[in-house]
Amino acid sequence: MYYISSVYASCDVKIVAVASRSFSSNSTLRAELLELYPESRFNETGRTLKGQELVEFLAGAEKAIIGLEYLTEELLAQLPSLKVVGKYGVGLDKIDFEAMRRFDIRMGWTPGVNKRSVAELALTFMLTTLRQLGAMNMDLRRGIWRTRPAAQLTGKTVGILGCGNVGKDLVRLLAPFGCRVLVHDIVDYPEFYSMTGVISVGLDALLSEADVVTLHLPLNSSTVGILDVERLKKMKKGSVLINTARGGLVDETALKQLLIEGHLLAAAFDVFATEPPEDEELLNLVQFLGSPHIGGGTREAVLEMGRAAIEGLNRHFPAEHFFEIC
Q: What are phi and psi of 289, to 5 degrees?
A: -125, 125
Q: Is 316 a catalytic residue?
A: no
* Res 14: pLDDT: 73
Which stretch of DSSP H or E encloses residue 127? Answer: helix 115-130
Secondary structure percentages of the chain, helix, strand, coil, to 5:
40, 15, 45
Answer whether residue 303 is part of any domain.
yes
If asked whether residues 218 and 236 sit together in one domain, one would say yes
Report the CATH number that the domain containing residue 98 is assigned in CATH. Answer: 3.40.50.720
**The predicted structure's pLDDT at residue 204:** 97
N residues, the chain: 326
pLDDT band at 12 (very low <50, low <70, confident <90, very high): low
In this prediction, residue 43 carries a pLDDT of: 97
Is the pLDDT assigned to residue 5 strictly greater than 70? Answer: no
How many C-beta atoms surround the C-beta of residue 62 within 10 A?
A: 16
Q: Are 185 and 276 within one domain?
A: yes
Cα separation, 324 vs 118, in Å, equals 23
Residues 233 and 270 both lie in one domain: yes
Q: What is the pLDDT of residue 287?
A: 96
Verify that 87 and 198 share a domain, yes or no: no
Whether residues 99 and 177 fall in one domain: no
CA quadruple 39, 104, 73, 217: dihedral positive or negative? negative
pLDDT at 2: 35
For residue 216, indicate whether it is catalytic: no
- Options 21, 106, 216, 246, the catalytic residue: 246
The pLDDT of 263-285, averaged and rounded, is: 97
Active-site residue flag, 246: yes
pLDDT value for 13: 57
Nearest to 89 by CA among 38, 185, 21: 21
Over 80: is that where the pLDDT of 8 sits?
Answer: no
- Euclidean distance between CA atoms 239 and 221, whole angstroms: 27
Per-residue pLDDT reduced to its tens digit, 231-255? 999 999 999 999 999 999 999 999 9
Contact 258, 264 (CB under 8 A): yes
How wide is the angle at C-alpha 220 spanned by C-alphas 291 and 234, nearest 5°?
A: 70
Average pLDDT on 293-306 reads 95
Domain span including residue 318: 6-111+298-322
3-state SS record for 275-290? CCCCCHHHHCCCCEEE
Q: Clarify whether residues 263 and 248 are in a common domain.
A: yes
pLDDT in tens, 171-185: 999 999 999 999 999
- Has residue 266 got a pLDDT over 50? yes
Mean pLDDT, residues 202-225 taken together: 96
Out of 41, 131, 293, 321, the active site residue is 293
Same domain, 138 and 70: no
* Three-state secondary structure call for residue 321: helix
Q: Is residue 1 part of a domain?
A: no
**Residue 296: pLDDT above 60?**
yes
Per-residue pLDDT reduced to its tens digit, 80-94: 999 999 999 988 989
Residue 323's pLDDT is: 77
User: Average pLDDT, stretch 287-307?
Assistant: 95
Portion of the chain with pLDDT greater than 90, in percent: 91
How many CB atoms neighbour CB 120 within 10 A? 17
Mean predicted lDDT score pLDDT of the chain = 93
Q: Residue 256 contacts by C-beta under 8 Å, 6 or more apart in sequence?
A: 279, 281, 282, 285, 288
104 & 151 share domain = no
pLDDT of residue 322: 86
3-state secondary structure of 50: coil
At 224, is the secondary structure helix, strand, or coil? coil
Q: Which of 35, 44, 74, 275 is catalytic?
A: 275
What are the helix (H) ranges across 212-284? 229-233, 252-261, 280-283
Instruction: Examine the domain organization and report whether 232 and 140 are in the same domain.
Output: yes
Task: Give the model confidence (pLDDT) of 114-171 as tens digits.
Answer: 999 999 999 999 999 999 999 999 999 999 999 999 999 999 999 999 999 999 999 9
Q: Are 264 and 180 within one domain?
A: yes
Task: Summarize the confidence of residues 63-81 as an average pLDDT.
Answer: 96
| Segment 109-118 mean pLDDT | 94
- Residue 9 confidence (pLDDT): 39
Structural domain includes residue 25: yes
The total of structural domains in the chain comes to 2
316 has a pLDDT exceeding 60: yes
- Examine the domain organization and report whether 185 and 266 are in the same domain: yes
- Looking at the structure, tell me whether residues 239 and 171 fall in a common domain: yes
Q: What is the mean pLDDT of residues 271-278?
A: 95
For the cut 90, the answer to whether the pLDDT of residue 229 exceeds it is yes
Of residues 104, 110, 107, 103, the one with CA closest to residue 65: 107
CA R_g for the chain: 21
